[in-house]
Structure 1
Amino acid sequence: MATIDSKSALTSEESVTQNQSSPWYRRVLWLIAIWFGSVIALGAVASLFRLMMHMAGMTTH
């Protein structure tokens, strides 16, 4: 059975304190990066669907 060293284990209160100590601009940059990544992924999926629809003979005119 494995044991956990109590000195190295963080309590939930300590981990919350560490998360809040990061600078606000770093959290905003992560938010922007995740948003930008999701927009790129959505664009890629939409392009793939458009390509498949075009290959199936569906056109916009």
Structure 2
Amino acid sequence: MRKKHESGAPAQKPLWKRMTWLVLIWSASVLALGIVAWLLRQFMSAAGLATP
């Protein structure tokens, strides 16, 4: 069970844990966007839409 402050609110996790999650989620979203962009380029090249 989590510790609670006297006010009844749950205790906050340490800053480094919160920042680690932020960086992990950001990295995953950038990676996913890169994969989608790469797939779109592959489909466009297969359709003959490549730049000269």
Which TM bucket (shorter chain)? 0.7 to 0.9
CA RMSD of aligned residues (A): 1.5
- Tell me if 1:54 matches 2:28: no
2:21 corresponds, among 23, 30, 42, to 30
Report the TM-score, using the length of structure 2 for normalisation: 0.79
The structure whose residues are more often helix, as a share, is 1
Specify the structure having the higher radius of gyration (Cα).
1
> Relative contact order, CA 8 A, sep 6+: which one is greater?
2
Structure 1 runs, 4 residues or longer, greater than 6 Å off: none
Which secondary structure state, in structure 2, belongs to the residue aligned with residue 17 of structure 1?
A: coil
Long gaps (5+) in structure 1: 1-12
Number of residue pairs aligned between Structure 1 and Structure 2: 46
Report the Cα distance in structure 2 between the residues aligned to 1:34 and 1:55, rounded to whole angstroms.
Answer: 32
Long gaps (5+) in structure 2: 1-6
Residue equivalent to 2:3: none
Question: Which AA in structure 2 matches 1:36?
Answer: S
